[in-house]
Amino acid sequence: MSDPQPIIQIRNVSKRFGKVTAVDNVNLDIMAGEFFVLLGPSGCGKTTLLRMIAGFELPTEGQIIIDGVDVSDVPPNKRPVNMVFQSYAVFPHMSVADNVAYGLKIRGVGRGEREDRVREALELVKLGGFEDRMPDQMSGGQRQRVALARSLVMRPKVLLLDEPLSALDAKLRAQMQFELSDLQDQVGITFVTVTHDQDEALSMASRIAVINKGEVAQLAGPSDLYEFPANRFVADFVGSVNIFEGKLTLDEPDKAAVECPGIGKVYLNHGVTGPHGADVWIALRPEKIYLHVPGEGKAVRAAAQDAPDGHNFARGVIKGMSYLGDITLYEIKLDSGEMIRVSRPNLSRHDQEDFTWDDRVSMHWRADSPVVLLS
Amino acid sequence: MAGGTQDWRLYKRPFAAIAGAPLFWLLLFFLVPMAIVWLYSFGENAGPADIAISGTLDNYKRAIEWLYLSIFLKSLAVAALVTLICLIIGFPVAMAITFAAPKWRPWLLLGIMLPFWTNLLIRTYALMTLMGTNGYANKGLNALWDGASWLRTFVGMQPLEAWTPVQLLYNNFAVVLGLVYVHLPFMVLPLYSALDRLDKSLIEASLDLGAGHLRTLMKIVVPLAGPGILAGVMITLIPALGAYLTPDLMGGTESQMIANVIERQFKRANDWPFGAALSFLLIYAMFILIALQSMRRDKGREAH
């Protein structure tokens, strides 16, 4: 592919239903060939945004430009995009082949080419040989593949997917995540997916727009979104996180410190460019906290040596545990009285026995682990 | 409700107690009288109020004479036309209610059902006051005619001839209009229930794949609403076929339907056996229609 350029440009788009603002002045550029995910809690406006790209809703304000053409007033049947619906919307009175051929017939594709393309599309979604099946003879996962084939056969510029994995069971969902990514690589079509599931978003997306209350809370790649959340909403919505309120006491280009009543002095090995003395929040992921049994004080101090003494260190008592097999999650009551969540990989088969309820433990984290959030 | 603790076979006595009364009612007031009338259809008049059941088929032979068969076929044609018109009017109405904002839907449905709550006789007479030669329909047309006539004189043309009222009542047109008016709710309600159950994303998927609204209607909505359409057709066709009051009040001498003929046999002609034979000819025809419908439904089920 040549230089990536926006295939979809969303310009100042707002959508109001009566008094309710579903989408509030959104600006997004989606690049050709991207796997773009709109992520957010239910009711945040992400589906409305997708439906506006498809043409089922018209923006109250703003423009939607697809491949250089302003389609703001173009009806869905005239747009170069196709959609896979949450309910799949496979036509129940048509065979699989007729479902997939439906759009080609409308476009006037000749019988021979049509049959070739239908077969090709069905093979692409691993449904070769299912041509004559009726939809009610198929499982949910298979019906979804029919819906995928029916859209892909149209060779759209953009494929829109509305919560594509929400109706599948956990195993199938994990498998489809990989398959959708593979499929997107194979066909090279831009995918725009809506989901409320952060795992789904992180595993499939090339870029993610987190939507909150109709606005874009952050636009970033999966790892940036997770490791460098822009605000408390994103930090909390994407993954699990501990958030502590504090005051910025030191802010220099190569170091910063935040005084948190909840967790003590937090030291960072980079600057944050925030106003001195301002209220800020510290976000600390559970897996970035090291757990130690008491008496390992020396080891802890040695491990935390990238921070000045007394920083990035806390003590508490284990109040809750949930063993998840690969990791164990601990709920720890800090000496300040606040709770913190720590996860610990079960590296050895006996490891997890070291920590149990009401044990007193120490914690430390590295100076590049905490994130300072200004909002 | 397959099997489980709710199976009636496990609770025969309570089931009998619950089902007994309606079964008894059905037997005593429906099946027994119907059986008597059915027996009459094989009898002959033995006196002014006495019928001998002789097993004769003469009544049926007479009933399929052209004089009566033609009225029967005409009734069928009228009922079919009424059903078709109801379908053509009812489908868009049902669509409109389905796609109306949720808060409006109950009111629109109420509007469809409201005439149901008024006596048929009152509704029919009300319609007749509109359609008489001196009724409001003719008055309105008269005013339009006069207006057109005045316009012609205004631009210097000859005025139109004096208005002669249109004969709207006491003909086939009146019967069809009256029957459509009465039976429209029967068509709209099953259509609405079928369309309401239709997954709206199927319509969106069709549009998304490039289909226009007309094609989406014909290829997606109509086939999927098929059972509802069939139910609406049957539920309209059967009562329309046996309609009595509307042709009696609004029809002329040439627009009577089979029910009017049957009524005359029982009352004025006092020929109960022949009336019974005509009635059962109508009932047999309805049985055939219902059998055809259920056969179609079974076939539809096998296909899945």
Pair A192, A253 in one domain: no
The answer to whether residue A150 neighbours chain B at the CB level (below 8 Å) is yes
Task: Decide if B209 and A92 are in contact by the 8 Å CB cutoff.
Answer: no
The amino acid present at B300, given as its one-letter code, is: G
- Yes or no, beta carbons of A106 and B210 under 8 Å apart: yes
Q: For residue A126, give both structure tokens.
A: 């691993």
User: Do both A118 and A189 map to the same domain?
Assistant: yes
Domain-embedded: residue A367: yes
Tell me whether residue A212 is in a domain. Answer: yes
pLDDT at A14: 95
Is B205–A89 a contact, with Cβ atoms under 8 angstroms apart?
yes
Query: For residue B187, what pLDDT is reported?
Result: 94
Q: What structural domains does chain B harbor?
A: 60-132+168-302 (1.10.3720.10)
Unique residue bearing structure tokens 């298979």:
A142
Shortest distance between the Cα of A5 and any Cα of chain B, in A, equals: 25
Same domain, A40 and A147: yes
Question: pTM for the full model?
Answer: 0.80
Domain assignment present for A278: yes
From the list B215, B223, B303, the residue facing A106 with the nearest CB is B215
Confirm whether A137 is domain-assigned.
Answer: yes
Phi, psi dihedral angles at A290 (to 5 degrees): -95, 140
Inter-residue contact A217 to A231 (CB < 8 Å) = yes
State which residues form the domain around A360.
Answer: 241-373
> Hey, are the CB atoms on B208 and A102 less than 8 Å from each other?
no
- Select from B198, B200, B208, B214 the residue whose CB has the most chain A CBs within 10 Å, as the one to mutate to test that interface: B208
Q: Which of B86, B83, B78, B45 is nearest to B258 (CA)?
A: B78
Contacts with B263 (C-beta within 8 Å, 6 or more apart), sequence order: B244, B248
Q: What is the CA radius of gyration of chain A?
A: 25
Judged by CB atoms closer than 8 Å, whether chains meet at A83 and B202 is answered as no
Q: Which of A235, A258, A291 is the last residue before a domain boundary?
A: A235
Report the pLDDT value the prediction gives residue B1, as an integer from 0 to 100.
43
Residue A1 covered by a domain? no
Among residues A180, A204, A235, which one ends one of the domains? A235
Q: Which pLDDT score, from 0 to 100, does residue B53 have? A: 86
- Asked whether residue A225 falls in the same domain as residue A137, the answer is yes
End-of-domain residue from the set A196, A218, A235: A235
| A68 and A149 inside one domain | yes
Same domain, A83 and A213: yes
Model confidence over B52-66: pLDDT tens digits?
888 888 999 999 899
Q: What is the CATH number of the domain that holds A324?
A: 2.40.50.100
Candidates B210, B220, B223; nearest CB to A77: B210
Please report whether residue A340 resides in a domain.
Answer: yes
ipTM above 0.95, yes or no: no
End-to-end CA distance of chain B: 21
**Is residue A288 located within the same domain as residue A203?**
no
State how many domains chain A has. Answer: 2
Using CB atoms and an 8 Å cut-off, which of residues 177-236 of chain B contact chain A? 199, 201-202, 204-212, 215, 219-220, 223-224
Residues A224 and A316 in one domain: no
Asked if B207 lies within 8 A of A75 by C-beta distance, the reply is yes
**A230 and A247 belong to one structural domain:** no
> By percentage, how much of chain B surpasses pLDDT 70?
95
The low-confidence residues of chain B, meaning pLDDT below 50, are: 1-3, 303-304
- The domain that holds A162 is classified in CATH as 3.40.50.300
What integer best gives the mean pLDDT of chain A?
A: 89
For the segment A316-344, what is each residue's pLDDT rounded down to a tens digit? 999 999 988 889 999 999 999 999 999 99
> Would A59 be classed as within a structural domain?
yes
Query: A246 and A360: one domain?
Result: yes
Q: How far apart are CA B56 and CA B276, in angstroms?
A: 13
The alpha helices in chain B, defined as continuous H runs, are: 12-26, 32-40, 58-63, 66-99, 105-113, 120-131, 136-154, 172-197, 200-208, 213-216, 222-224, 226-241, 245-250, 258-266, 272-302
Rg (CA), chain B: 25
The rounded distance, in Å, linking the Cα atoms of B136 and B154 is: 27
Same-domain check for residues A15 and A159: yes
Taking CB atoms and an 8 Å limit, are A56 and B204 in contact across chains?
Answer: yes
Instruction: For chain A, list residues with pLDDT below 70.
Output: 1-4, 295-305, 351-353
Q: What is the pLDDT of residue A351?
A: 66
Same domain, A24 and A92: yes
